[in-house]
Amino acid sequence: MLLLLAAACVVAFVLLLYMVSPLISPKPLKLPGAHVVVTGGSSGIGKCVAIECYKQGAFITLIARNESKLLQTKKEIEKYSVNDKQVVLCISVDVSKDYGHVESVLKQAQEKLGPVDMLINCAGTSTTGKFEDLEVSCFERLMAVNYLGSVYASHAVIATMKERRMGRIVFVSSQAGQVGLFGYTAYSPTKFALRGLAEALQMEVKPYNIYVTVAYPPDTDTPGFAEEIKTKPLETKLISEASSVCQAEQVARVIVKDAIQGNFNSFMGSDGYMLSVLTSGMSPVTAITEGLQQVVCMGIFRIIGLFYLGSFDSIVRRCMIQREKSESTDKTK
């Protein structure tokens, strides 16, 4: 009897889940004919995101500073056209400098290609090093580009999206925006900031059928990453080995898929999954099953996470001892 009751409860619960899930899950965005703006679209992840959207029939606006890189990328993207109406527009602007300028170029882009359906904030840069070795200007610069750059572009398109009651905004954060690690004192806070912005903004714009996505890519093989690795402290390199290096095409595919579906969280790989569950906090869910998984897995992932943290601490300690040894032998020479 009791067993029957329990079974009935389970069935009722599952039915309830199915009933409420359409309330939570957004309708997918249709990319064919849509206008997609990609900041940082001339290189790395942004370029691959632009190609992925173009392949699916979107019109693209690329935003970055270097004009020749933009034009070269435009040519590269155009090879993937799926119809002869598609356009790739290039805009050279620094997203971190003057809001008025960013606003006016986005207005021009909308006059040419129509209102923005999806904005992907991918322009960003990274500098690693020990806290005391990084100049304070570096903290200011990274916050300006990675955080304020995303604020400016999003601010410039949100009013039209609200009027049209549709749209997608993507913030490209990082796994370093979910956990603070050795060497990332200047970079991590800029990526954590995007998460706070995204949560608050999502709550404001959800009734207008606008969905916000935060992507947390791991180390990804891009020109930016190649630059970063030149000055990376040994500790940061060793710690980062906990998560493998991804290809930009692969990362872009996941970001575009999640953005189309309106998922708040976008991650890749098993460590990406664990980090996202662990750091889900008060972030919104876009499927009931997502919430359930978080409830069930949080505790066990915390235990796994503590082991990771322990191993990171021992990497840092070993490197410190090694450094001190080599410094003292240097002195005796």
Ligand X SMILES: NC(=O)C1=CN([C@@H]2O[C@H](COP(=O)(O)OP(=O)(O)OC[C@H]3O[C@@H](n4cnc5c(N)ncnc54)[C@H](OP(=O)(O)O)[C@@H]3O)[C@@H](O)[C@H]2O)C=CC1
Ligand Y SMILES: CCCCCCCCCCCCCCCC(=O)[C@@H](N)CO
Catalytic residue set: 173, 187, 191
Residues 290-329 that bind ligand Y (CB under 6 A): 301, 304-305, 308
To ligand X, the closest distance from the beta carbon of 201 in angstroms equals 17
Q: Which is nearer to ligand X, 166 or 172 (CB)?
A: 172
Residues 17-46 that bind ligand Y (CB under 6 A): none
Residues 174-213 that bind ligand X (CB under 6 A): 174
Interaction between residue 117 and ligand Y (CB under 6 A): no
Residues 212-271 that bind ligand Y (CB under 6 A): 218-219, 224-225, 228, 240, 242-243, 271
SS3 call for 33: coil
Q: Which is nearer to ligand X, 75 or 85 (CB)?
A: 75
To ligand Y, the closest distance from the beta carbon of 2 in angstroms equals 37
Q: How far is Cα 248 from Cα 225, in angstroms, rounded to an integer? A: 11
DSSP string, 113-181: H-S-SEEEE-------B-GGGS-HHHHHHHIIIIIIHHHHHHHHHHHHHHHHT-EEEEEE--GGGTS--
Interaction between residue 129 and ligand Y (CB under 6 A): no
SS3 call for 40: coil
Question: Quick one: how far is CA 288 from the chain centroid?
Answer: 22
Among 43, 61, 121, 126, binds ligand Y (CB under 6 A): 126
Interaction between residue 45 and ligand X (CB under 6 A): yes
> Which stretch of DSSP H or E encloses residue 11?
helix 2-24
Q: How far is Cα 23 from Cα 32, in angstroms, rounded to an integer? A: 25
Q: How far is Cα 116 from Cα 34, in angstroms, rounded to an integer? A: 8
In sequence order, the β-bridge partners of residue 92 are 64
Query: Comparing C-alpha atoms, which of 297, 214, 227, 296 is closest to residue 254?
Result: 214
Among 120, 161, 172, 268, binds ligand X (CB under 6 A): 172
Distant-in-sequence, close-in-space partners of 212: CB < 8 Å, separation ≥ 6:
168, 169, 170, 171, 198, 201, 202, 205, 264
Interaction between residue 52 and ligand X (CB under 6 A): no
Residues 158-187 that bind ligand Y (CB under 6 A): 174-176, 179, 181
Residue 214 near residue 171, CB atoms below 8 Å: yes
Q: Which is nearer to ligand Y, 55 or 253 (CB)?
A: 253
Q: Which is nearer to ligand X, 92 or 209 (CB)?
A: 92
Sign of torsion over alpha carbons 23, 25, 26, 32: negative
Interaction between residue 217 and ligand X (CB under 6 A): yes
243 binds, among ligand Y, ligand X, none (CB under 5 to 8 A by kind): ligand Y
Residues found near ligand X in the complex (CB under 6 A) = 39-40, 42-46, 64-66, 69, 94-96, 122-126, 145-146, 149, 172, 174, 217, 219-220, 222-225
Residues found near ligand Y in the complex (CB under 6 A) = 126, 174-176, 179, 181, 218-219, 224-225, 228, 240, 242-243, 271, 274-275, 278, 301, 304-305, 308
